[in-house]
Amino acid sequence: MKKIWQKNSTQNMNSLIEDYTVWIDYLLDMELISYDIIWSKAHVKMLNKIWILTDSEKNLLLQWLDEIQELVKKWDFKILKQEEDCHTAIESYLTEKYPSIWTKVHTWRSRNDQILVTTRLFTMDKVSKIIESIEILINSFEKKIKEIWGIKMPWYTHMQKAMPSSVWMWLWSIQDSLKDDLLLVKTALEINNQNPLWSVAWFWENVFWLDKQFTCQELWFKKVQSNPMYASYSRWKFEHIILQSLSQIMMDLWKFASDMVLFWTKEFDYFTLPDEFKTGSSVMPQKKNWDVMELVRWNSNLFLGYEYQVKEIFKNLMSGYNRDFQLTKEPYLKWIKLTENTINICNLVVNNLWVNKSKLEFACSKELYATEQAYKLVKTWTSFRDAYKIVGEKYL
Amino acid sequence: MKKIWQKNSTQNMNSLIEDYTVWIDYLLDMELISYDIIWSKAHVKMLNKIWILTDSEKNLLLQWLDEIQELVKKWDFKILKQEEDCHTAIESYLTEKYPSIWTKVHTWRSRNDQILVTTRLFTMDKVSKIIESIEILINSFEKKIKEIWGIKMPWYTHMQKAMPSSVWMWLWSIQDSLKDDLLLVKTALEINNQNPLWSVAWFWENVFWLDKQFTCQELWFKKVQSNPMYASYSRWKFEHIILQSLSQIMMDLWKFASDMVLFWTKEFDYFTLPDEFKTGSSVMPQKKNWDVMELVRWNSNLFLGYEYQVKEIFKNLMSGYNRDFQLTKEPYLKWIKLTENTINICNLVVNNLWVNKSKLEFACSKELYATEQAYKLVKTWTSFRDAYKIVGEKYL
Amino acid sequence: MKKIWQKNSTQNMNSLIEDYTVWIDYLLDMELISYDIIWSKAHVKMLNKIWILTDSEKNLLLQWLDEIQELVKKWDFKILKQEEDCHTAIESYLTEKYPSIWTKVHTWRSRNDQILVTTRLFTMDKVSKIIESIEILINSFEKKIKEIWGIKMPWYTHMQKAMPSSVWMWLWSIQDSLKDDLLLVKTALEINNQNPLWSVAWFWENVFWLDKQFTCQELWFKKVQSNPMYASYSRWKFEHIILQSLSQIMMDLWKFASDMVLFWTKEFDYFTLPDEFKTGSSVMPQKKNWDVMELVRWNSNLFLGYEYQVKEIFKNLMSGYNRDFQLTKEPYLKWIKLTENTINICNLVVNNLWVNKSKLEFACSKELYATEQAYKLVKTWTSFRDAYKIVGEKYL
Amino acid sequence: MKKIWQKNSTQNMNSLIEDYTVWIDYLLDMELISYDIIWSKAHVKMLNKIWILTDSEKNLLLQWLDEIQELVKKWDFKILKQEEDCHTAIESYLTEKYPSIWTKVHTWRSRNDQILVTTRLFTMDKVSKIIESIEILINSFEKKIKEIWGIKMPWYTHMQKAMPSSVWMWLWSIQDSLKDDLLLVKTALEINNQNPLWSVAWFWENVFWLDKQFTCQELWFKKVQSNPMYASYSRWKFEHIILQSLSQIMMDLWKFASDMVLFWTKEFDYFTLPDEFKTGSSVMPQKKNWDVMELVRWNSNLFLGYEYQVKEIFKNLMSGYNRDFQLTKEPYLKWIKLTENTINICNLVVNNLWVNKSKLEFACSKELYATEQAYKLVKTWTSFRDAYKIVGEKYL
């Protein structure tokens, strides 16, 4: 199979160069191919509407695209390394069927369009699911808060016990943070909800007319993204915006995990998890470890490393399309998956969290109430500064 | 003057330690002190409402706080190094006036509350101004687009000329990007719009009653932030969210600046700026440089470095208050200022941008129209793939 | 197969948790398994020396380990997902052979030791090869410099032509930079050259005696790393130090690639590469792109993202072993590979670089010599400042 | 005072642009001015050697430069904002004295040279001092290790008690890490030790002859850096290499600080510091905080943010001089200072560290010895795997 951009079959690339440029796109694209098929069908319908394809051509193409979709679902469709990506794999499959029909389908769209629309649809789908997962997690916090209502816990400043607080206040603080994050994620998704289809075609609008609104409705996009330069640049930009918003989630869960790892040390001993969350040591017979929270903590780093990879490319690039845009695919797909997994793992942890009531109450020792003592003096008309001094003298 | 937290005047810190811990907060806080005064007045009114302060005490305090505000406006108020921050400086000033009144004012608020509310008000004010600046910049792009309407310009892929485009499409792409950013900045500001006042007091709500809604209205906050643990954590989190949203602006302007630096090389020579934007060389008599765009480009890096400093602290911290939160002040204040300056500089550049029409049109050479040629063949019912090959043969 | 740390076969992990914790280590470890076998043989010999293993047990074990090495070479050895890593896979294989012998081999070593020594050997091997590749690249620059000797080229400041220079000076500047990097990489490798074997065993040195020097010599390590806490921490630290040094290489190559992409735009047109380095466009028939340099540029970002992932973990961790250490495996293996590939690709590019002499000389236009004119005046005893002004007036 | 690069006094910059471009260089340069004077004297001597300056001119200039040095020492010399930097301030001062002599001094050097040499000398001086501070810190660890010899302490894996260890092993692990860092810092300093003086002059070597070796010896540089393009690029690169090496120190100290903050929580309570290291709370009368270790931890972040700012600029830049190079000054000067301060603070902490022996020994509870029990079984010829199981059953 020739590459889409090859002019004749005798032209060949240096194979070392080819390996370096193809990378692992052909593997990653298995996650994306379904979305390409979905909008290719919309594109075919539109080409029929504007007389590029006859009705029977349209019907054949829709049928064949459904056929590939079926194969993909059953993991019976493969993207070959020399095909580079899912777009070429589809083309390769359909060209064999009936070349003269397929060749018309690439009218008005570039490979840049193809990946742009595919990624947008992928994002709409996956991030909507992530939003659902977050809502489930928020509910799990709610349920757990009710369950452990009334159990006291020290509040720390500078990692030193400071004031009396409670387990539910700690859980509620994480839940509140996730709620604020949701607003960010939804805003990011709203920005992503723009149809870049045929942005490149813009350059020849004087040549042909396209029904952009039609595909916009067909694919449930909120609006058309008309500027082709911005469409190209926004491939990177929208990925980065989605990522920024999800990073807030990851940081909240890092915080939860980091607290957990600390709170279940023997020295604190506030919480624990069932045995099925444990791993052991290859040397020390007595050890039981809860690796899972360490991994949540670490995956936040991993995530921020992928964010770095995506974010930084803007610094290299002049306006227009640059090959670098293409390379965000790996980190982008990975952190979408990572985020979803991490939310689900945390949900499992919240649901199974066991609170060591006696230890927590024992930890709420007398000195936590020093400020309350001062305020009781305030109630008897001592000024706060004086009350502070009076109580403070006991703790010199 | 003793520090707020000192129990007796004989306790002293190691002076090397003191220098290391105070840092330059006392200088930075000159930017914040006005906001502290604003909400201290609301706090005083509330304390009067709940009978902690008498009417005459309230009136005296409001008058004194206005007095400090006046001094601040005339740069006649100084925060001393040993006072550490603006909160202590105000306290120090008022304690001299009438100690027995002032000592009541610290009722229900901790230094943590003080900086939290102060920063929120600072952010509401500054970021609202930044939003205005962005809107002005968007309008400047609009005006310039109308002015240079119709001037062609090549569109680049892989930094190679690719298709015919136009100057206004380039400017419009940046403008569109700024518009999407605005939505992000406004969302970030909405999240910031929560009143954390007296979050610490929560721990003794059984002791006293506070009218949180009153101060919320007084200070124009949209809602009360009730969870004291989240309030504490959100100091960092909200700063980071604001920063993330502004980073999108900075990256757009980086892109604009980076394109500009390239486009006014002698080799491209598409744009220029008036002489008053130029610097020279200390060695080469012929040189004229437009440092300003290099600085915009670089300041985006500077900005992202400050973002890094703010973002990363979450990794160190257990729930509760940690000293580290306090250290975001310098990067936070700096990048708020940096963003505003950079937007204003870019506005100046857009307004003064001069377009080298003849160079741009000369640059739109014949090969840019190869795709259009192919599409003309498509119109005569050649399939696109065949048309591509036919035209492509001329460019082997 | 049970995991090394499992106490009985009825204990089971939640499968979602298991998936989340195992990650893709079992795939990555195919790169590491050979190194594990190498030092396991040294360990077996040592155990024989201190009477834990008999001569015949030793011989059998060495033979079996060679057997696995053979299978690995032919890609006939597989690490199963449930085995987690290469250490368990080897154990699993040998336990079947003769359980009672194998069980003795884990004496004095923990899984932590195993991965530590394995990674050190992997690093010594791979980074030595990278050093060779850099030396080859330095030579290629040398050769190319001789080949294009004498061809002029403008030197730029602020991206504006500034003074007359030459192609060889540009190439030489990159070569010089690579030479300084070599010193860093060699220092990093020297630090890595410490044998952490049996660091954990340290805790029971009162129980048994180990011949650390013997394995040190056997595995060509320069010295023993005695402190077990540092050994554990240095897993991360040494990986990071290696990475920091290699990042200098990647940044030099980024710079080379970035210059190249600019210099072969039509507007500059200073250099080109043979057709076998080119890709095309799926839409524009006329396009020829040199993606390869864009990829080098981008891979520098990718690399720095992996560096970020490795670097940042230190922030999460208390002293001792933390699960997070284990997660650097993926980024570490990837960037070692990425660095080697990128150096080789650049070597290919340097060797095939074609210099457009006429364009370069045309670009060295008159104004580049303004400073030289000023210096000629200096030679006639005009002060430099005056000479600068006299010549500068021609360029107002 | 006109700027060095101004051609006539009527040319003016837009004042908004001027503010944006000058930044705070004029303040930062107070740290650098002494080094400029040092090498300006060497430059003057060389100009005399090659007949540009007469003996009497040379003597006058050396005397005047010493005069400025004296003023700088007494803080009586000021760099004005409109002078931009220290080089111009010196020029401005000397031009008033005897313009016709001074104007000759700028022969063969550009402002780029000036800052390059100045920064190299600044780095040699400051980093040498940092190396001394590290050596002092290493000795303090040594002393403390001897002092607390024999006190047990648990070793942690996954933040859970794992095996018996000791306080000195923990301190020794940090000390060992610092020793490895020293090798990196010294290598970085060796790379920095190259004289870039008159690199720009290279372009006119055909015009004049310069005695580079002379100034090299005069300023104690190890070798001449001949390639002017590399000299220009290495301004950034050497700063970054120095920074990378110092970041290792900062990360070690972060780890020390982070452990300390954890170990002196009430829950662990292993260590403490004298009262003079403490701060208090403005609300809670009982609180005593050790902010200083939180600050060390945080300053590591601050440091890495400055590293980010310096590192990232390479991505923006084509070969040659770019304005962006100039902007590393602020982060570079700041982190040099920050590193020195942080090392000194840690030294103070190590010297004053008080070890809570009874708590530490109580913490070494029975389960820490489970592995030792297993090894005792190994000594009676049980295989390790079986011994592990036997002992493990007690901890199910």
The pLDDT assigned to C9 comes to: 45
Size of interface C-D (CB pairs under 8 A): 210
Q: Judge contact between D137 and D224, C-beta under 8 A.
A: no
Distance from B44 to chain A by nearest Cα, in Å?
A: 14
pLDDT at site B170: 94
Q: Do A155 and B228 touch (CB under 8 A)?
A: yes
Residues in chain A with CB shorter than 8 Å from the CB of B233 are 173, 177, 255
If pLDDT is split at 50, 70 and 90, which confidence band does C57 have?
Answer: very high
Which pLDDT score is estimated for B259?
A: 94
Does the pLDDT value for residue A3 go beyond 70? no
A139 pLDDT higher than 80: yes
Partners of D327 on chain B (C-beta within 8 Å) are 295, 298-299, 301-302
Nearest CB to D227: which of C173, C258, C396? Answer: C173
- For D111-209+226-363, the fitting CATH number among 3.90.110.10, 1.10.10.60, 1.20.200.10, 3.90.400.10 is 1.20.200.10
What is the CA angle B196-B197-B201, rounded to 5?
A: 110
Cα distance between residue D109 and residue D105, in whole Å = 8
User: Chain D closest CA to C230's CA: distance in Å?
Assistant: 5
- Containing H/E element for C234? helix C228-263
pLDDT confidence band for A10 (50 / 70 / 90) = very low
Interatomic CA distance for residues A163 and A167, integer angstroms:
13
Of A183, A207, A322, the CB nearest to B372: A207
pLDDT per residue as tens digits for the range C252-311: 999 999 999 999 899 999 999 887 777 666 667 777 777 888 888 888 888 888 888 888
pLDDT, mean over chain B: 85
Q: How far is CA B264 from the centre of its chain?
A: 29
Longest Cα–Cα distance of chain C, Å, equals 95
Query: According to the model, what pLDDT value does residue B23 have?
Result: 59
- Here the tokens at position C284 are 């524009």
pLDDT at D101: 80
For residue A165, the SS3 value is strand
Determine the pLDDT at residue A177: 97
Q: In this predicted model, what pLDDT tens digit does every residue of C304-342 receive, in sequence order?
A: 888 888 888 888 788 888 888 888 888 899 889 889 999
Task: Indicate if the pLDDT at residue C375 is higher than 80.
Answer: no
Minimal C-alpha gap between D5 and chain B (Å): 4
Tell me A323's DSSP state. Answer: G
- Burial class from Cβ neighbours inside 10 Å (0-12, 13-18, 19+) for residue D276 reads middle
A23 to A30, B302, C284: CA distances (angstroms): 14, 32, 23
Query: Chain B contact for A170, CB < 8 A?
Result: yes
Asked if D281 is an interface residue toward chain B (Cβ–Cβ < 8 A), one would say yes
Q: Which backbone phi and psi does C355 adopt, to 5 degrees?
A: -100, 125
Residue ranges of domains in chain A: 15-102, 111-209+226-363, 366-396
pLDDT band, residue A33 (cuts 50/70/90):
very high
CA distance B374 to B389: 9
- What is the reported pLDDT for B1? 41
Given CB atoms, is C17 within the 8 Å cutoff of chain A?
Answer: yes
The segments of chain D whose pLDDT lies below 50 read 1, 8-10
In this complex, do A20 and C341 lie within 8 Å of one another by their Cβ atoms?
Answer: yes
The CA distance from A345 to the nearest CA of chain D, in Å, is: 18
Q: Which of B1, B4, B5 to mutate to test the interface with D (most CBs of D within 10 A)?
A: B5
Q: Are D48 and D55 in contact (CB under 8 A)?
A: yes
Q: Is A156 helix (H, G, I), strand (E, B) or coil?
A: strand
Q: In the structure, what pLDDT confidence band is assigned to residue A80 with cuts at 50, 70 and 90? A: confident
> Does B308 lie at the interface with D, CB-CB under 8 angstroms?
yes
d(CA D38, CA D30): 14
Where does the pLDDT of residue B291 fall: very low under 50, low under 70, confident under 90, or very high at 90 and above?
confident
> Closest to B372 (Cβ–Cβ): which among A190, A204, A314?
A204
pLDDT tens column, B27-63: 788 899 999 999 999 999 988 988 889 999 999 999 9
Dihedral sign for Cα atoms in the order B230, B233, B235, B238: negative
Alpha-carbon torsion (C231, C234, C236, C238), positive or negative:
negative
Inter-chain CB pairs, A–B, below 8 Å = 211
pLDDT tens digits for range C167-187? 999 999 999 999 999 999 999
* B307: phi then psi, degrees, rounded to nearest 5: -60, -45
Interface B-D: count of C-beta contacts within 8 A: 157
Question: Which of A320-329, A359-368, B310-319, D279-288 has the least mean pLDDT?
Answer: D279-288
- Best interface-test mutation with A: which of D265, D267, D324 has the largest number of A CBs within 10 A? D267
pLDDT by residue (tens digit) across D217-254? 899 899 888 888 899 899 999 999 999 999 999 999 99
Q: What pLDDT, on a 0 to 100 scale, did the predictor assign at position A113?
A: 82
- Asked whether residue A1 carries a pLDDT value surpassing 50, the answer given is no
> What is the reported pLDDT for D9?
45
- Which residue matches tokens 């695209």? A65
3-state secondary structure chain B: CCCCCCCCCCCCCCHHHHHHHHCCHHHHHHHCHHHHHHHHHHHHHHHHHCCCCCHHHHHHHHHHHHHHHHHHHCCCCCCCHHHCCHHHHHHHHHHHHCHHHHHHHCCCCCHHHHHHHHHHHHHHHHHHHHHHHHHHHHHHHHHHHHHCCCCEEEEEECCEEEEEEEHHHHHHHHHHHHHHHHHHHHHHHHHHCEECCCCHHHHHCCCCCCCHHHHHHHCCCCEECCCHHHHHHHHHHHHHHHHHHHHHHHHHHHHHHHHHHHHCCCCCCCEECCHHHCECCCCCCCCCECHHHHHHHHHHHHHHHHHHHHHHHHHHCCCCECHHHHHHHHHHHHHHHHHHHHHHHHHHHHHHCEECHHHHHHHCCHHHHHHHHHHHHHHCCCCHHHHHHHHHHHHC
On the question of pLDDT at C14 being above 80, the answer is no
- Main-chain dihedrals φ then ψ at residue D161, nearest 5 degrees: -50, 135
pLDDT for position B88: 84
A164/B319 Cβ within 8 A: no
More confident residue, D135 or C382: D135
Q: What are phi and psi of B287, to 5 degrees?
A: -75, 140
CA distance C381 to chain D (A): 9
CB-CB under 8 Å, D375 with C173: no
How far is CA A162 from each of CA A371, B320, C119, C214, D285, rounded to the nearest angstrom?
9, 9, 44, 54, 10
Q: What end-to-end distance do the CA atoms of chain C give, in Å?
A: 81
- Chain B nearest-CA distance from D389, in A, is 36
> How far is it, in rounded angstroms, from Cα A269 to Cα A356?
7
Residues near B270 by beta carbon (within 8 Å), at least 6 away in sequence: B153, B167, B263, B264, B355, B356, B359, B360, B363
Q: Say how far apart CA D236 and CA D310 lie, in whole Å.
A: 7
Question: B368 pLDDT band (50/70/90 cuts)?
Answer: confident
**Closest CA in chain B for residue C292:** B158
Q: Are A68 and A77 in contact (CB under 8 A)?
A: yes
Query: B146 — contact with chain C (CB < 8 Å)?
Result: no
Question: What's the rounded Cα separation, in Å, for the pair A40 and A70?
Answer: 15
The verdict on B107 touching A (C-beta cutoff 8 Å) is: yes
Q: Report the candidate in B126, B120, B130, B131 with the shortest Cα–Cα distance to residue B221.
A: B120
Residue C320: closest CA among A269, B314, D145, D258: D258
CA neighbours within 13 Å on the CB side: how many for C60? Answer: 14
Q: Which of B81-90, B207-216, C43-52, D348-357 has the lowest mean pLDDT?
A: B207-216
State whether residue A98 sits within 8 Å of chain C by CB: no
pLDDT for the residue A390 = 83
What topology does CATH give the domain D15-102?
A: Fumarase C; Chain B, domain 1 (1.10.275)
Mean pLDDT of the B199-209 span: 58
DSSP A239-280: HHHHHHHHHHHHHHHHHHHHHHHHHTSTTT--EE--GGG-B-
Annotate chain D with three-state secondary structure.
CCCCCCCCCCCCCCHHHHHHHHCCHHHHHHHCHHHHHHHHHHHHHHHHHCCCCCHHHHHHHHHHHHHHHHHHHCCCCCCCHHHCCHHHHHHHHHHHHCHHHHHHHCCCCCHHHHHHHHHHHHHHHHHHHHHHHHHHHHHHHHHHHHHCCCCEEEEEECCEEEEEEEHHHHHHHHHHHHHHHHHHHHHHHHHHCEECCCCHHHHHCCCCCCCHHHHHHHCCCCEECCCHHHHHHHHHHHHHHHHHHHHHHHHHHHHHHHHHHHHCCCCCCCEECCHHHCECCCCCCCCCECHHHHHHHHHHHHHHHHHHHHHHHHHHCCCCECHHHHHHHHHHHHHHHHHHHHHHHHHHHHHHCEECHHHHHHHCCHHHHHHHHHHHHHHCCCCHHHHHHHHHHHHC
Average pLDDT over residues C206-235: 83
Q: Does D351 reach chain B within 8 Å, measured CB to CB?
A: no
Of B280, B309, B322, the CB nearest to D7: B280
Q: How far apart are the C-alpha atoms of A310 and A332, rounded to whole Å?
A: 8
- Tell me, what's the pLDDT at B203? 60
Q: How far is Cα D46 from Cα A248, in angstroms, rounded to an integer?
A: 59
CB atoms closer than 10 angstroms to residue A213: 13
Residue numbers of D between 322 and 341 with CB closer than 8 Å to C: 322-323
Token pair in block for residue C259: 């210059």
**A92 contacts chain B (CB < 8 A):** no
Q: Diameter of chain A by CA atoms?
A: 96
Measured between beta carbons, the chain D residues lying within 8 angstroms of B287 are 5
Distance from CA of D205 to the nearest CA of A (A): 35
User: Would you place residue B3 in the very low, low, confident or very high pLDDT band (cuts 50, 70, 90)?
Assistant: low
**What ipTM goes with this model?**
0.90
Contact across the interface for B285 and C374, Cβ inside 8 Å:
yes
Among A155, A262, A286, most D C-beta atoms within 10 A, so best to mutate, is A286
Closest CA to C343 of C184, C130, C168: C130
Tell me which chain A residues have a C-beta less than 8 angstroms from the C-beta of C302: 309, 327
pLDDT digits (tens, 9 = 90+) for A293-342: 888 888 888 888 888 888 888 887 888 888 888 888 888 998 898 899 99
Nearest to D329, CA basis, from D144, D123, D154: D123
**Is there a contact between B289 and C395 if contact means CB atoms under 8 Å apart?**
no
Confidence of residue B101 (pLDDT cuts 50, 70, 90): confident
More confident residue, D227 or A17: D227
